[in-house]
Amino acid sequence: MTDRPVLQPSASHPITVEPTGRRVTVRVGGDLVADTDDALTLKEAAYPPVQYIPQRDVVAGRLAPSDTETYCPYKGQAGYYDVVTGAGERVSDAVWTYPDPYPAVAPIAGHVAFYPDKADVTIA
- CB burial string 41-64: b at 16+ within 10 A, e below: bbebeeeeebbbbbbebbeeebbe
User: In degrees rounded to 5, what are phi and psi of residue 88?
Assistant: 85, 5
H/E run at residue 25 = strand 24-28
- Output the pLDDT for position 3: 84
CATH, range 15-123: 2.170.150.40
| Spatial separation of the C-alpha atoms in residues 46 and 62, rounded to whole Å | 31
CA 16 to chain centre: 14
pLDDT of residue 69: 98
| Mean pLDDT value of segment 67-73 | 97
Which residues neighbour 46 within 8 Å (Cβ) at sequence distance 6 or greater? none
Q: Please state the pTM of the whole predicted model.
A: 0.95
Whether the per-residue pLDDT at 1 is higher than 60: the answer is: no
Q: What is the pLDDT of residue 2?
A: 64
